Every structure is written in C-alpha cells, then in structure tokens.
Amino acid sequence: NAGVTQTPKFRVLKTGQSMTLLCAQDMNHEYMYWYRQDPGMGLRLIHYSVGEGTTAKGEVPDGYNVSRLKKQNFLLGLESAAPSQTSVYFCASSYALGSGRIYNEQFFGPGTRLTVL
Amino acid sequence: DQQVKQNSPSLSVQEGRISILNCDYTNSMFDYFLWYKKYPAEGPTFLISISSIKDKNEDGRFTVFLNKSAKHLSLHIVPSQPGDSAVYFCAASVGSSNTGKLIFGQGTTLQVKP
C-alpha cells in the first residue's frame, strides 16, 4: 500500500515550457486535491476533484489545468510555466463525505518541488 | 483575505514543557478544524481534529481547544519532545460543502530543544 505518490519529485523548467505532474493513490479515495505551498502562505488549493471525470477550481487555479480520467490518478498541468509557479506542489486524497460525515482525513503525497527559471 | 491565520511563524520550547500553537479564523461557516504536522521534504500528516460542536479533543499528548465565540483554536502538546519539531498547520473546512476542501493557515515552525 503506497498511499499517495507524486511524480516527479523535482523539476526545473524554463519560462514558457509545459509539464504535467502526476498524482496516484491506491486507497480507493473518491476525492483528490492539488495544493501549492509557498513560504509564509501555507498550503493553497489549486484544483480538486470529487470523483472520476469531475474537477473544480480551488483558491488559486489560474495557470493550471487538471484531469481525473481514472479514479486513482489526478494530473496537474502547467501549459506555459511562469516563475510565479515556482513552488512545492502537494497532492492529497480522501474518502467521500456523506451519510452525516462532514470530514474525512486527507492523505498527502511527498510533494514535487518545481522551479521555473 | 486570509480566512485562517497562524500569527506566530515560529515557536521554541524546552523538552518536557508545554507547546501551545494558536490559530484564528474569520469564516463562521467553518465546522471542522484540523491540525497537520509537516517534516522537511515530506507531505503533511494529519495530527488531530475537532468538530465545531465540541470545545476540546484530546489524543495522547495532543489536545486541541476550540473557542467558537472568539473564532480561535489552539493545539497543546504536553510534554513536548524533540521529535515534535516540525511545521504545524491548522486547517478549516465547511462540512456542508461536501467537497472536503481545506483552508490552511500559514504554518508555525515548532522547535523543541533537548
């Protein structure tokens, strides 16, 4: 049981390049999330998904796109990278809510450190 | 507009003493609060949580207190241990949204000195 894994762990891009970050979870979680962590800013939600084939915007979605074609995978894309996207990116997943339950713990991956020059 | 705030970027305590980490929020719709712990080069891990219908939740050395009228929560660690040295994030959620989305504070770096 690997939990939440992220690929790659590190990446350096030049301004204008594109890339895709892959998140995979083997816990059969319905919900998945992408966050970015910047110094003094905590973790901010970029996009999230409450099920296969669904995605929604979080707090800071501009410049990013996501896809959830398979339940276990959540991809984060940068179409034209900018230096402001230099950050550490975390993926997380959790069980679905409902049946009176208002919260489930989110499990986080180890992060991807992205530098845009 | 920062809905969840941790106003102390860092805290240093002696081993064996109590560590108190504080968090304030502005959105009265938040009904679930959590603390996550993060070591360098790792993802955050869940530590303890509290529902808005309670004012205290305890788990071993960790206790979270919630003061809804003041929109304030705190995490107490007693006794503090060197292995507790990490960044602590508080987070809040609106359960009725059925999305599980979390709003995080900026984090507080705790250093426990031997």
Query: How would residue A101 be classed by pLDDT, with cut points 50, 70 and 90?
Result: low
How far apart CA A56 and CA A20 sit, in angstroms, is 18
CB contacts of B91 in chain A (<8 Å) are 43
CA distances from B68 to A12, A108, B32 (A): 44, 28, 11
Distances, alpha carbon B5 to alpha carbons A32, A43, A48, A86, in Å: 24, 12, 22, 23
Check pLDDT > 90 for residue A114.
yes
Q: Residue B86, Cβ neighbours under 10 Å: how many?
A: 21
Residue A99 pLDDT: 59
**CB-based contact A106 B95, cutoff 8 Å:** no
Residue A68 CB contacts under 8 Å (≥ 6 apart), including other chains: A32, A49, A51, A52, A53, A54, A55, A74, A75
Which residue does chain A place closest to B37, by CA atoms? A108
* Alpha-carbon span A33 to A51, nearest angstrom: 11
Chain B residues whose beta carbon lies within 8 Å of the beta carbon of residue A2: none
Nearest-Cα residue of chain B relative to residue A30: B99
- Length, in residues, of chain B: 114
Q: Is the confidence at residue B2, as pLDDT, over 90?
A: no
> CA-CA distance, B106 to B83, in Å (whole number)?
21
Mean pLDDT over residues B14-32, rounded?
96
Q: Distance between CA atoms of A72 and A52, rounded to whole angstroms?
A: 8
Alpha-carbon distance of B114 to B100, in angstroms, equals 38
pLDDT in tens, A11-70: 999 999 999 999 999 999 999 999 999 988 899 999 999 999 999 999 999 999 999 999
Q: Which amino acid is at B5?
A: K
pLDDT above 80 (res A92) = yes
Which pLDDT tens digit goes with each residue over A67-87?
999 999 999 999 999 999 999
pLDDT at A104: 76
Q: How confident is the model at residue A103 (pLDDT cuts 50, 70, 90)?
A: confident
CA dihedral A33, A39, A40, A43 (to 10 degrees): 10
